[in-house]
A and B are shown apart, each in its own frame.
Chain A
Amino acid sequence: QKEVEQDPGPLSVPEGAIVSLNCTYSNSAFQYFMWYRQYSRKGPELLMYTYSSGNKEDGRFTAQVDKSSKYISLFIRDSQPSDSATYLCAMSADTDKLIFGTGTRLQVFP
């Protein structure tokens, strides 16, 4: 079993929809949580960072962490075609190694 599980998609939604992307994990020691966006043939770009449990909002993006359920989410409001990309969750127990999910491919159609 992988330490981090993420549905690979693809997830296809119409423009303006609310998108929910999720990851589950098994290591209760994880306390640093990140979401990355990766466009085709580019490097991952950091979107959101959260420490421990709670919510964090940045514009149209909201990250949620529920450590009791070992579950993290990224919500995208008013989705745009430019949001079409692969979204990777990442987490770590300490400040050294990051463990990545497999990524969810999102397509937002006009």
Chain B
Amino acid sequence: EADIYQTPRYLVIGTGKKITLECSQTMGHDKMYWYQQDPGMELHLIHYSYGVNSTEKGDLSSESTVSRIRTEHFPLTLESARPSHTSQYLCASKGWTEAFFGQGTRLTVV
């Protein structure tokens, strides 16, 4: 069983608030990823990291930012949440070949 955790699972927040979505893994993987997924839609890569102090933007433009200060931790931050940020956010980590996902954070901005 993969050990990758996301908190919170669900979050409802007002417009303009700053939020941080947490993602932690205990597998020692260097590579970590954030995906955004709307209901019934495909996964879109928004950020990735290949190790500590390495972060890159993904294929889908996002107003969020990420940091990678520790191998096991890859938080995603939205400085000012908007209703257009309402979505499911999935974190993944990858060993040599397979990627493992967390359970996701379902974010609703009202």
Contacts and interface: CB of A to CB of B under 8 A. Distances in A.
Given A95-B96, A96-B31, A46 B2 contact: yes
Interface in B16-34: 31, 33
Contacts of B31: 95-96
Contacts of B45: 97
B102 to A, nearest CB: 5
A90 interface: yes
Nearest to A42: B103
For chain B, the bracket of interface size reads 20 to 34
A48 B108 CA distance: 32
B106 A101 contact: no
B81 interface: no
A102 B44 CA distance: 10
A32 interface: yes
Given A88-B43, A97-B45, A42 B104 contact: yes
Given A41-B106, A101-B42, A102-B42, A96 B99 contact: no
A43 B94 contact: no
Contact of A51 (B40, B97, B100, B104): B97
22 contacts: A41-B104, A43-B6, A43-B90, A43-B102, A43-B103, A44-B43, A44-B101, A45-B101, A46-B2, A46-B98, A46-B99, A49-B97, A88-B43, A90-B99, A95-B94, A95-B96, A96-B94, A97-B45, A98-B99, A101-B42, A102-B41, A105-B40
